[in-house]
Amino acid sequence: MRDLTIDISKCLGIFLVVLGHCLHNDSAAHDVIYLFHMPLFFFLSGFFFREQDLLLFFRNKTKRLLYPFVFYYYVFAKIWVIIHCIIVQRQLPTFDLDFFLSVGPIWFLISLWEIILLMNIVFRIKQDWVKSIIIIMFFTLGYYLSKENLSLPFFLTQSLIMLSFFYIGFIFRNKYFYKERSLYNLMTTGYFLRYIVVLVAFVWLLFLPHDRLDVYGMIFPSAMALIINALVGIVGIICLSSLIASSCVKYPRRRFLFGILQLGGVSSLHIMGLHYPLLITMFYMTIPLIIRTQEVLGIRVSEGYLLRYNTPLLTFTIALILTIISSYMGRWVENRFPRFFGK
């Protein structure tokens, strides 16, 4: 049985990923989202970790993670770029090293595969305190490498750092999630407490000054700021998701909204793989609008302004449309090509 709160958390998380890519890199909202949205996904992935034999891991997780990566990275994204360049730019793309090595948001699948492999190796050790020390050592190594601008192949530097949030998610699920009188049960039974937690997280992330975080670009603040800001965002999203889940279950008229949110959570992998190529195409489709606007109104409109949708309502709308299209498109692709998704 799927957990409603986790599905909604994944839906909110993947929407923030799409929204973050629609925002300009220098905007405050972009920086706030990036403080916690990728640690959130690794944290939620830790909920579902189960120790398994390494041979079984290579067989199962390769199908579930690397097959979709190959599909979205090569079969879809690269072919989409070629078609896009031919139709929109009327020329072939430059087939250089960047063309084949630029991954985009789907890097998450490679990193998650590496993290689950590391977890299976670490969990060969029986003592929990030894496991925790090893996880901290991995975090310290990854953080040191990032500060020295030493990027290991296949996003391994990022994986070493994000492994900690995956491990915290695993601990949170096993130590608190299903136990009576636990912190999680306190949050899920007390509406007032959950509202307070969401409000505190909102104020903390939005109104306090923070150094920038970009996991993919290996831009990290201090280690303490990285952990605290990410955990504040994670707890805030989980509490908000539990409030939404409780509301949808309590009031039947809202179950349609719940169904949409749950679909977004179930389809988060597809949205991760599909939204960015669609977004790039949308940007290029906007350029004629910019030129036409300048001709009709006689004013100069910045391409960066329209292409990055700096109007908050328009930004939100574009991100929502991309999320919905990617979700349904991904479900269709999975039904047509199940082997690419380990099924």
The structure's pTM equals: 0.84
* Residue 161: per-residue pLDDT: 95
Residues in the chain, total: 343
**pLDDT value at residue 144:** 94
C-alpha 40: how far from chain center:
7
- Give the span between the Cα atoms of 321 and 71, in whole angstroms: 23
Residue 236: pLDDT over 90? yes
In this structure, of 33-47, 195-209, 280-294, the range with the lowest mean pLDDT score is 280-294
User: Is pLDDT at 326 greater than 80 in this prediction?
Assistant: yes
- Say yes or no to pLDDT of 290 above 60: no
Mean per-residue pLDDT over the chain, rounded: 81
- Average the pLDDT over 17-42 and give the result: 88
Residue 147 has pLDDT above 70, yes or no: yes
pLDDT at 302 over 60: no
Across the range 294-299, mean pLDDT stands at 56
**Reduced to 3 states, what is the DSSP secondary structure of residue 107?**
helix
Poorest-pLDDT segment among 31-40, 136-145, 296-305, 311-320: 296-305
- Domains of the chain, residue spans: 4-341
Predicted confidence at residue 245, as pLDDT, reads 81
- Provide Rg for the chain, Cα atoms: 21
pLDDT of 62-106, one tens digit each? Answer: 888 888 888 887 777 677 677 767 766 677 766 666 666 667 788
pLDDT of residue 285: 65
Cite the DSSP H helix spans in the chain: 4-22, 28-34, 37-46, 54-61, 67-70, 79-84, 97-101, 107-122, 128-147, 156-172, 183-189, 191-207, 223-250, 255-266, 268-297, 303-307, 312-336
For the chain, what percent of residues have pLDDT higher than 90?
26
Is the pLDDT confidence value at 311 over 80? Answer: no
pLDDT tier at 284 (50, 70, 90 boundaries)? Answer: low
Across the range 30-38, mean pLDDT stands at 91
Distance, in Å, from the CA atom of 208 to the CA atom of 270, rounded to the nearest integer, reads 33
Give the pLDDT score at 254: 65
For residues 177-190, give the mean pLDDT.
Answer: 50
Looking at residue 123, what DSSP letter applies? T
Q: What is the mean pLDDT of residues 282-290?
A: 64
* Range name among 19-23, 27-31, 47-51, 246-250 with the lowest pLDDT average: 246-250
Top pLDDT among 9 and 189 is at 9
Quote the pLDDT of residue 259.
Answer: 74
Q: Which are the contacts of 303, defined by CB distance < 8 A and separation ≥ 6?
A: 287, 290
